[in-house]
C-alpha cells in the first residue's frame, strides 16, 4: 500500500497520483492527514483500493467508478455524488446529500446520514447503519436505500421506482410515497445488501416503502401534491 500525505501533497497532488493511469502504480493507497479537505479521491476511474485515515470534506469519492474507498472518519456534503460503480464505505457519519444522483455501486455509512440522503439516486444502493434526515430519497429513481435507524420527515418525496427499507420510525412520508408489502424477493435483496455492507441487522424488522405511482402523469386532482 502506497502512503500519500495530503498535508504534504495537497488535494490536487493526491488526486493526481490516483488519476495517473499512464504509470505502473500500486493497487492500493492510504491517504493520511485528510484534514477535512474537499474533493478527495474524486473522479477515480480504475480498480483500486483507497483508505482515507481521518475526516473528509465535501464531495469525497464523487463520480467514483470501479474504486473501493474506505473513510475512517466522518464525511461532509455530497459524499459519493454521482458515483457510477465501485464501493464507498464511511465508518462515521455523513452530511447532507450523501449518494446524490449516484447511478451505481454501493455506499455504506455506518453512522447517521443527514438530510436528502439518496436524493435523485439513479441505481446506487445505499446502506445507512444509523438514521437519516428529512427529504431522504427525494425523487429517487432506482436503487435501494436501507435505513437501519429512523427516517426524518418527507421520506421518499416524489419517489419513482427506488425501494426504501426502514427498520426504525418514519417521521412522515413525502408526496406519493407509501408503505408496501415486504415480499420474499425484497427480503432476499435486503439480506444481500446488509451482508455486503457488513452491518448487523435483522432483515425481518424492516418495512418497505415506495411509489404509489399517482404522480407519474399530471392529474388536476393531484395538483396540490406536485
**pLDDT score at 27:** 86
Question: Who's near 169: CB < 8 A, 6+ residues apart?
Answer: 150, 151
**pLDDT score at 214:** 87
Which residue ranges of the chain lie beneath pLDDT 50?
none
Cell of 125: 444502493
**pLDDT score at 215:** 79
Question: Who's near 205: CB < 8 A, 6+ residues apart?
Answer: 167
**pLDDT score at 224:** 67
**pLDDT score at 1:** 85
The answer to whether the beta carbons of residues 100 and 77 sit under 8 Å apart is: no
Neighbouring-strand partners of residue 126: 107, 145
Give the pLDDT confidence of 8-58 residue by residue, as tens digits: 999 999 999 999 865 556 689 999 999 999 999 999 999 999 999 999 999
Question: Who's near 68: CB < 8 A, 6+ residues apart?
Answer: 48, 49, 50, 86, 87, 88, 89
Per DSSP, 178 falls in state E
**pLDDT score at 45:** 93
CATH 2.40.50.1070 fits 33-215, yes or no: no
- Within 10 Å of residue 156's Cβ, how many Cβ atoms? 30
**pLDDT score at 216:** 72
Q: Nearest CA to 125 among 150, 99, 148, 151? A: 99
The ranges assigned to domains in the chain are 33-215
Amino acid at each position: 500500500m502506497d502512503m500519500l500525505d495530503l498535508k504534504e501533497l495537497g488535494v490536487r497532488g493526491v488526486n493526481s497520483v490516483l488519476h495517473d493511469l499512464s504509470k505502473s502504480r500500486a493497487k492500493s493507497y492510504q491517504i493520511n492527514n485528510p484534514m477535512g479537505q474537499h474533493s478527495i479521491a474524486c473522479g477515480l476511474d480504475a480498480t483500486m483500493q483507497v483508505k482515507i485515515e481521518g475526516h473528509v470534506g465535501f464531495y469525497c469519492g464523487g463520480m467514483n467508478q470501479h474504486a473501493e474507498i474506505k473513510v475512517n472518519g466522518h464525511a461532509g456534503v455530497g459524499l459519493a455524488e454521482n458515483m457510477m460503480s465501485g464501493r464507498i464505505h464511511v465508518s462515521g457519519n455523513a452530511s447532507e446529500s450523501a449518494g446524490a444522483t449516484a447511478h451505481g455501486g454501493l455506499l455504506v455509512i455506518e453512522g447517521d446520514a443527514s438530510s436528502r440522503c439518496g436524493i435523485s439516486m439513479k441505481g446506487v444502493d445505499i446502506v445507512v447503519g444509523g438514521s437519516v434526515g428529512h427529504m431522504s430519497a427525494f425523487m429517487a429513481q432506482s436503487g435501494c436505500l436501507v435505513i437501519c435507524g429512523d427516517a426524518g420527515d418527507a421520506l421518499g418525496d416524489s419517489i419513482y421506482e427506488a425501494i426504501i427499507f426502514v427498520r426504525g420510525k418514519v417521521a412522515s412520508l413525502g408526496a406519493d410515497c407509501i408503505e408496501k408489502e415486504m415480499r420474499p424477493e425484497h427480503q432476499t435483496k435486503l439480506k444481500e445488501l446488509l451482508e455486503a455492507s457488513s452491518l448487523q441487522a435483522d432483515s425481518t424488522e424492516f418495512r418497505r416503502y415506495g411509489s404509489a405511482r399517482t404522480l407519474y402523469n399530471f392529474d388536476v386532482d393531484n395538483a396540490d401534491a406536485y
